[in-house]
């Protein structure tokens, strides 16, 4: 009361977005993204909470590993439990209890990768649910409507993501349609407490990418996603596309590389001006027994870990590395214990988030290139292939 009387409200719900690039090292940028649900230091990795939960994690564990912003999938949530239910229960924040910012994708990518009987025309995409076969239509307007109901802090324009490889003409058509759908997405979006990002398409063709980015920039989105990469193209093509977009995309706005990738991919993206990443790799690989460490990848079922008392990553301070040995994790994984998935997911997410913390620190201290070179060598090490690792019986 006193504070308010002094003209300083004791509590102000922040609805103003802001993004500032605060430091640069080469093309790499360290920034600060303010959202209605909190501040995110960039570059950042967003754990994927497909159906409103990051698999094998609780919100508490996500906070403990340093997660700041989560991604949720519009496609999955529109089918189950439905966006109306999520909205009724307070949007993604109220429904899941996650206090920090959310980002939702547009649903377009999943329609093409998961659903059945797709049919695409200028209006949108008709498809059948992979869950129960029910018929649905997703258009730019409908995707934005759903995303407004879900209530994430950052939402995505509805795009068409062509496969790789695809004929140049098909990619050009998809890119042109993505531009038209971006304008329709922009027109359909009315929530002031959400940021809507446009998505650059164009496959591996630099001229299409630049045309796509320039078209979106006329719509003046507050941020730009780079879609259609990490779909099977060579890494050199991805790097080339990012390098072609870096001087085109507005310096002052966040850039989000969708669906990427390994720790090494993240470093390459940061080195080419990317601020935001998401990927299922750390969580999915954890459930399959593969851990990312500061010494390279570790496949826990390998027989040589059977009696290994060391933590997964001696340089990691996460709960798993503080409390569990490789031998224990291997045992739990072989016994198909859920606890194995939990512990390895904790580590992999901590490793990703710690890596990006180091990235931010080294950008600010001007030694990102040293860090990137050193870590890239480590990450490039092939999965350990000790002869004793061949243990098909899993005994």
Catalytic positions: 105, 278
Please name which of 38, 44, 109, 104 lies closest in space to residue 77, comparing C-alpha atoms.
104
> What is the nearest approach in angstroms of a copy of itself to the Cβ of residue 53?
4
Judged by beta carbon, residue 341 or residue 375, the one nearer a copy of itself is: 341
Bridge partners, 299 (sequence order) = 290
Cβ partners under 8 Å of residue 238, min gap 6: 204, 229, 230, 260, 265, 268
Minimal distance, residue 348 CB to a copy of itself, in Å: 14
β-bridge mates for residue 40, sequence order = 33
Choose between 77 and 271: whose C-beta lies nearer to a copy of itself.
77
- Would you say 220 or 307 has its CB closer to a copy of itself? 307
Min separation Cβ 369 and a copy of itself, Å: 38
Nearer to a copy of itself, 80 or 119 (CB): 80
Please provide residue 258's backbone torsions phi and psi, each rounded to the nearest 5 degrees.
Answer: -80, 130
* DSSP conformational letter for 65: T
DSSP character string of 158-177: ------SS--HHHHHHHHHH
Cβ 222 to a copy of itself shortest distance, Å: 30
Choose between 219 and 334: whose C-beta lies nearer to a copy of itself: 334
Length of the chain: 395
- Distances 345 to 55, 281, 322, 352, 360 between C-alpha atoms, Å: 8, 10, 14, 11, 23
Binding site for a copy of itself (CB under 8 A): 51-60, 76, 80-81, 85, 88-89, 95-97, 132, 287, 306-307, 309, 319, 323-325, 327-328, 330-332, 334-335, 337-343, 346, 393, 395
Backbone CA torsion sign across 114, 111, 192, 175:
positive
Minimum distance from residue 337 beta carbon to a copy of itself (Å): 5
Count Cα neighbours of 1 within 13 Å in the Cβ-side half-sphere.
Answer: 0
């Amino acid at each position: 009361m006193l504070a308010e009387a002094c003209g300083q409200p004791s509590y102000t719900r922040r609805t103003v977005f802001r993004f500032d690039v605060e430091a640069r090292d080469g093309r790499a940028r360290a920034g600060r993204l303010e959202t209605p649900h909190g501040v995110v230091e960039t570059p950042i990795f967003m754990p994927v909470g497909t159906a409103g939960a990051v698999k094998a994690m609780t919100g508490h564990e996500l906070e403990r590993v340093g997660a700041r912003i989560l991604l949720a999938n519009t496609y999955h949530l529109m089918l189950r439990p439905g966006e109306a239910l999520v909205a009724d229960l307070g949007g993604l924040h109220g429904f899941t209890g996650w206090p920090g910012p959310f980002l939702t994708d547009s649903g377009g990518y999943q329609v093409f990768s998961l659903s059945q009987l797709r049919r695409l025309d200028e209006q949108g995409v008709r498809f059948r649910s992979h869950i129960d076969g029910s018929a649905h239509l997703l258009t730019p307007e409908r995707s934005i409507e759903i995303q407004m109901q879900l209530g994430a802090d950052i939402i995505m324009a509805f795009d068409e993501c062509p496969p790789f490889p695809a004929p140049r003409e098909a990619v050009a058509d998809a890119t042109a349609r993505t531009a038209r759908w971006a304008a329709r997405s922009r027109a359909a979006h009315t929530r002031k407490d959400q940021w809507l990002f446009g998505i650059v398409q164009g496959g591996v063709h630099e001229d299409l990418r630049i045309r796509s980015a320039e078209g979106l920039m006329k719509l003046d989105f507050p941020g730009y996603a780079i879609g259609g990469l990490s779909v099977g193209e060579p890494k050199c093509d991805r790097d080339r596309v990012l390098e072609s977009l870096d001087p085109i995309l507005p310096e002052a706005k966040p850039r989000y590389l969708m669906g990427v990738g390994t720790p090494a991919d993240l470093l390459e993206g940061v080195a080419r001006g990317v601020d935001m990443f998401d990927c299922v790799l750390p969580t999915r690989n954890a459930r399959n027994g593969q851990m990312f460490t500061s010494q390279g990848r570790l496949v826990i079922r390998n027989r040589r870990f059977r009696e290994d008392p060391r933590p997964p990553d001696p340089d990691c301070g996460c709960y798993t590395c503080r409390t569990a040995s490789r031998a224990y994790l291997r045992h739990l994984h072989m016994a198909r214990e859920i606890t194995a998935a939990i512990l390895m997911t904790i580590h992999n997410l901590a490793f990703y988030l710690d890596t990006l913390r180091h990235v931010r620190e080294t950008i600010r201290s001007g030694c990102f290139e040293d860090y990137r070179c050193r870590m890239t060598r480590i990450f490039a090490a092939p999965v350990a292939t000790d002869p004793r690792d061949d243990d098909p019986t899993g005994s």
